[in-house]
């Protein structure tokens, strides 16, 4: 077990402190900044990553921008808010939690824009902290609900990183694994390395070792063979955006795992808080897919592994159709097909 929770992001007296995830697992380097532009850059470059954590970082980024405003003139304050919101809103296009958090911060800003600057700063910071606290509670609930539906002696395959490093709490998909381990329902975890940025190898393996959970690292293209040999009885992944019909955008490679799981008769579970569900996006076809730099594919650890000038297609995410998904575990309950109806009903109760 972890002696104390990993804290990848926190507010410290007018600064944001974050763990630079690009440096893991070889170095644990924390960065403190009072510059909201540095928060934007950290999100863009994946120093801060994971859909829920990006949303939390964006909320703190807005609070930080206003926290350091000294001129109480209404125009100056609004300009600082708008500039920070626009920059944060363009940092990553796929994860809906980012925009959800910015909308909450905007609502608070508009409600208190006519109050004193001191009061506005207080309100914005409290909202960011509330978003952080809520995500921690959501992770805990997802873990409880997900652990219940896993088979006993579960041997689970997971993709990318969905734990403390990606959220405000113990994680979404990884929160399920942690809770199942605590309840003696989890036997083993297989970790996809998650090319091209190796979030599984660098981050998930690092976290599971800290948690004391037995795990085996795989190259991404080994997953099919492990399933064929009967070593896996569930796949659990996170999500960056879930459309109204249950289609799921997640780290590229997720769709292939869903196809493999379907072929081998293995349940495929998605774990995400309701803030990741986007009822305004009808299907996965409407989810914007971020394109990353070719260097992320052609250069590994500072060494070029591909010929110069080769054409590279590098989407950060892919979309898994809802018919390949067994269930979506949210903090408000476990959703099953037909997902359109389940999601509609979920939001009607909020």
**CA atoms 249, 251, 254, 255: torsion sign:** positive
Tokens coding 300: 């590994």
Q: Are 152 and 183 in contact (CB under 8 A)?
A: no
Q: Which residues contact 70 (CB under 8 A, 6 or more apart)?
A: none
Cα gap 4→205, rounded to integer Å:
18
Tell me the Cα Rg of the chain: 20
Q: What are the percentages of helix, strand and coil residues in the chain, rounded to 5?
A: 45, 20, 35
**CA atoms 317, 318, 322, 326: torsion sign:** negative
Backbone angles phi, psi at 118, to 5 degrees: -60, -45
240 assigned to active site: yes
Q: Which residues pair with 340 in a beta bridge?
A: none
* Burial annotation 90-120 (CB, 10 A radius, 16+ → b, else e): ebbbbbbbbbbbbebbeebbeebeeeebeeb
Cα gap 34→48, rounded to integer Å:
15
Backbone angles phi, psi at 32, to 5 degrees: -115, 135
Nearest Cα residue to 331 out of 277, 274, 253, 293: 274
- Which of 192, 220, 240, 247 is flagged as catalytic? 240
* Burial annotation 184-208 (CB, 10 A radius, 16+ → b, else e): ebbbebbbbbbbbbbbbbbbbbbbb
Cα gap 319→276, rounded to integer Å:
14
Cα-based distances in Å from 58 to 67, 104, 133, 200, 243: 14, 11, 15, 24, 22
Catalytic positions are 240
């Amino acid at each position: 077990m972890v002696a104390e929770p990993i804290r990848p992001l926190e507010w410290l007296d007018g600064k944001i402190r974050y763990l630079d995830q690009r440096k893991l697992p070889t170095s644990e380097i924390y960065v403190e900044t009072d510059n909201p532009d540095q928060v934007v850059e950290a999100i863009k470059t994946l120093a801060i990553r994971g859909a829920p954590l990006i949303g939390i970082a964006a909320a703190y980024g807005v609070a930080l921008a206003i926290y350091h405003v000294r001129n109480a003139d209404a125009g100056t304050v609004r300009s600082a808010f708008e500039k920070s919101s626009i920059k944060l809103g363009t940092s990553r296009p796929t994860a809906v939690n980012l925009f959800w958090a910015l909308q909450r911060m905007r609502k608070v800003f508009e409600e208190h824009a006519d109050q004193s600057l001191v009061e506005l700063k207080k309100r914005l910071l409290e909202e960011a902290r509330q978003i952080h606290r809520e995500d921690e509670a959501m992770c805990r609930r997802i873990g409880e609900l997900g652990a219940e539906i896993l088979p006993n002696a579960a041997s689970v395959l997971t993709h990318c990183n969905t734990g403390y490093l990606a959220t405000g709490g113990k994680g979404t998909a990884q929160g399920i694994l942690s809770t199942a381990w605590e309840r003696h329902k989890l036997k083993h975890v297989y970790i996809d390395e998650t090319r091209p940025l190796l979030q599984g190898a660098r981050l998930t393996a690092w976290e599971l070792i800290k948690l004391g959970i037995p795990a085996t690292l795989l190259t991404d293209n080994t997953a099919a063979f492990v399933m064929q040999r009967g070593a896996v009885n569930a796949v659990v992944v996170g999500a960056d955006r879930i459309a109204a019909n249950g289609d799921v955008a997640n780290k590229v490679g997720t769709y292939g795992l869903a196809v493999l799981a379907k072929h081998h008769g293995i349940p495929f579970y998605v774990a995400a808080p309701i803030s990741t569900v986007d009822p305004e996006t009808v299907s996965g076809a409407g989810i914007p897919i971020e394109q990353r730099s070719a260097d992320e594919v052609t250069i590994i650890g500072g060494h070029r592994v591909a010929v110069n000038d080769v054409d590279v297609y590098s989407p950060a995410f892919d979309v898994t159709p809802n018919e390949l998904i067994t269930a979506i575990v949210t903090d408000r309950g476990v959703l099953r097909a037909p997902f359109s109806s389940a999601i509609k009903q979920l939001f009607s109760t909020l």
